[in-house]
């Protein structure tokens, strides 16, 4: 797919070009697409997804094709600062999801929810109706469909006349669907929100603010489901820290080489290299990811 012609500030981090936006700026990009009848696909990336993208070419291609790519994980923001390409703040998928629901409620836009189980959708719609009473729901469909049914799903969304499409499905299914069918749905903004449907339905609790501010949502989730998530988060965190360490060393190498080749006044250059101490923060996985 093509990319937006709008020029936006971007930060290249660990091989991914992030949009350096705050939450309010991200919402403004979405409302601009809605007003000018454009198409904006949104990719939200945390440390776990960066690791997965290194291993899965199709996922990597689908994410990098998105027309707005945001840092969903706090560890990604910390990494950007360590690599001197700072992102302004974390923009979580679920917070953007709720901000766009509020915009749709205010503007009278039609939304479509794709994903999760039918009982989850029913509970979520009940909560959404209470919180956003003027919201126009164009349609809903659970996320249990086969690949050969995807054209039918895309056509259903198009026929429903949705302005915004939210996909409550796990990776890489949601990214691959958007990459292949996003524009065909006719939606002007498409956002993969992962497990956020479960949170809005009240089935899953989001981590308390303290955990979010300290980049420890992954730890909170691991405490809730240690058998399913504990080992996965451990291996993902280690992989991300190794990737970041290599990137930090690589970014420092040219500067260290210059320092070593330039003798200090009155003394010969030293043959030994200086060690680089690298502080790597733990992985932070947003509530809408990793499912």
Check residue 263 and give its pLDDT. 56
90 domain-assigned: yes
277 domain-assigned: no
How many structural domains comprise the chain?
A: 1
Mean pLDDT of the chain: 86
Over residues 91-129, the pLDDT tens digits come to: 999 999 999 999 999 999 999 999 999 999 999 999 999
Which helix (H) or strand (E) element contains residue 118? helix 118-131
**Residues 76, 46: contact at Cβ < 8 Å?**
yes
Over residues 138-165, the pLDDT tens digits come to: 999 999 999 999 999 999 999 999 999 9
Over residues 266-289, the pLDDT tens digits come to: 444 443 333 333 333 334 444 555
Check residue 251 and give its pLDDT. 77
Task: Residue 160: name the closest of 183, 137, 181 by CA.
Answer: 137
62 domain-assigned: yes
Check residue 273 and give its pLDDT. 32
Non-local CB neighbours of 79 within 8 Å, separated by 6+ positions: 13, 14, 47, 244, 247, 281
Look up the domain containing 28 and give its range: 10-209
The Cα–Cα gap between 222 and 112 comes to: 31
38 domain-assigned: yes
Task: Say if residue 10 is preceded by a cis peptide, omega within 30 of 0.
Answer: no
31 domain-assigned: yes
Confidence of residue 168 (pLDDT cuts 50, 70, 90): very high
pTM over 0.95: no
Task: Residue 42: name the closest of 24, 75, 18 by CA.
Answer: 18
**Residues 58, 176: contact at Cβ < 8 Å?**
yes
Provide the percentage of residues in the chain whose pLDDT is more than 70. Answer: 84
């Amino acid at each position: 797919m093509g990319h937006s012609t709008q020029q936006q500030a971007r930060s290249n981090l660990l091989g991914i070009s992030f949009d350096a936006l705050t939450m309010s700026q991200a919402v403004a990009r979405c409302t601009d697409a809605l007003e000018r009848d454009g198409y904006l696909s949104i990719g939200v990336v945390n440390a776990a997804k960066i690791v997965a993208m290194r291993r899965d070419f199709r996922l990597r291609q689908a994410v990098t094709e998105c027309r707005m790519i945001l840092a969903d994980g706090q560890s990604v923001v910390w990494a950007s600062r360590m690599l001197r390409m700072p992102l302004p703040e974390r923009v979580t998928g679920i917070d953007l999801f709720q901000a766009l629901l509020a915009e749709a409620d205010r503007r009278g836009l039609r939304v479509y929810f794709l994903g999760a189980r039918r009982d989850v959708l029913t509970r979520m719609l009940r909560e959404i109706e209470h919180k956003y009473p003027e919201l126009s729901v164009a349609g809903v469909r659970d996320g249990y469909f086969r690949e050969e049914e995807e054209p039918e799903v895309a056509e259903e969304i198009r026929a429903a006349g949705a302005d915004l499409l939210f996909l409550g499905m796990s990776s890489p299914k949601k990214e691959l669907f958007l990459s292949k069918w996003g524009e065909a749905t006719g939606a002007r903004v498409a956002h993969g929100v992962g497990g956020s449907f479960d949170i809005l339905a009240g089935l899953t609790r989001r981590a308390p603010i303290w955990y979010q501010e300290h980049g420890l949502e992954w730890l909170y989730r691991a405490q809730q489901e240690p058998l399913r998530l504990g080992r996965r988060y451990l291996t993902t965190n280690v992989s991300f820290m190794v990737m970041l360490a290599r990137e930090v060393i690589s970014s420092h190498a040219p500067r260290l080489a210059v320092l070593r080749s330039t003798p200090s006044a009155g003394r010969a250059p030293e043959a030994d290299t200086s060690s680089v101490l690298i502080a790597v923060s733990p992985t932070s996985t947003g509530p809408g990811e990793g499912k």
